[in-house]
């Protein structure tokens, strides 16, 4: 999100939110506390079209370089099995959406609020983390229609989502056994 901010806005954000950033990296401030603050400072008043364009660029240039090979293997396995695949992420939809569209995947992610073509810096409907992930999944899908539900997570913010699944893969434990069994 800081890529969308001007140099002056970045300086203000880093200066004003320096204690929050240090606390976050030291493990003293939760991500769900820090991220909305940085988003508000970085994105308030930025043209929404600019943020979407930067998100699209990020989705094509950065995301492919950061996805774990194991995650790509799991995606391929689910595709071969004809599974419905939904990416559920606390990350911003402005870059999750274009990546998922290119990959042919459905998605649930943190949406940015816009007014009059400008970003407000606030999240529309809150951040898609923790319990909110499970709430949004239940709202979007009738889980009783699925015989097997697989969920993958790597942070404590994924635990409520993982609880919805029959097959819970946390920090990639058991993922390779899952592929060999299927």
CATH of the domain at 133: 3.40.50.1000
Q: How far apart are CA 86 and CA 134, in angstroms?
A: 13
Q: How far apart are CA 80 and CA 161, in angstroms?
A: 24
* pLDDT value for 7: 78
Q: How far apart are CA 51 and CA 117, in angstroms?
A: 11
Residue with tokens 């097997």: 148
**Which pair of structure tokens corresponds to residue 27?**
């493990």
Overall number of domains in the chain: 1
Asked if residue 82 belongs to a domain, the reply is yes
Asked if residue 4 belongs to a domain, the reply is no
* pLDDT value for 127: 95
Evaluate if residue 178 carries a pLDDT over 90.
no
CA neighbor of 92 nearest in space, from 51, 62, 132: 51
Element (H, E) at 122: strand 118-124
Element (H, E) at 10: helix 7-16
- Point out the least confidently predicted range of 14-18, 139-143, 175-179: 175-179
pTM of the entire predicted model:
0.87
Asked if residue 103 belongs to a domain, the reply is yes
* pLDDT value for 137: 98
**Residue partners of 167: CB distance under 8 A and separation at least 6:** 148, 149, 150, 151, 178
Residue with tokens 């946390």: 170
Asked if residue 59 belongs to a domain, the reply is no
Backbone Cα Rg of the chain: 17
**Which pair of structure tokens corresponds to residue 150?**
């697989």
Evaluate if residue 181 carries a pLDDT over 70.
no
Evaluate if residue 1 carries a pLDDT over 90.
no
Evaluate if residue 14 carries a pLDDT over 90.
no
Q: How far apart are CA 87 and CA 151, in angstroms?
A: 10
**Residue partners of 138: CB distance under 8 A and separation at least 6:** 164
Q: Model confidence over 30-89: pLDDT tens digits?
A: 888 898 998 898 899 999 999 999 999 999 999 999 999 999 999 999 999 999 999 999
Torsion angle of C-alpha atoms 35, 135, 177, 73, degrees rounded to 10: -60
Q: Model confidence over 82-130: pLDDT tens digits?
A: 999 999 999 999 999 999 999 999 999 999 999 999 999 999 999 999 9
- 4 vs 173, more confident: 173
Its domain, for residue 132, covers 68-111+125-181
């Amino acid at each position: 999100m800081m890529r969308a901010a001007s140099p002056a806005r970045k300086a203000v954000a880093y200066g004003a939110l320096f204690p929050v950033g240090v606390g976050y990296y030291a493990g003293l401030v939760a991500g769900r506390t820090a991220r909305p603050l940085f988003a508000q400072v970085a994105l308030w008043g930025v043209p929404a079209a600019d943020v979407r364009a930067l998100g699209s660029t990020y989705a094509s240039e950065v995301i492919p370089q950061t996805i774990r090979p194991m995650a790509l293997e799991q995606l391929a396995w689910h595709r071969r099995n004809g599974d419905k695949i939904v990416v559920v992420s606390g990350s911003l939809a402005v870059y999750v959406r274009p990546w998922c569209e290119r990959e042919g995947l459905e998605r649930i992610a943190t949406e940015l609020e816009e007014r009059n073509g400008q970003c407000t810096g606030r999240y529309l409907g809150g951040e898609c983390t923790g319990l909110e992930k499970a709430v949004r999944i239940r709202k979007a899908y009738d889980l009783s229609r699925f015989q097997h539900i697989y969920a993958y997570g790597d942070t404590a913010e994924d635990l409520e989502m993982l609880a919805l699944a029959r097959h819970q893969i946390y920090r990639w434990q058991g993922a390779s056994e899952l592929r060999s069994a299927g």
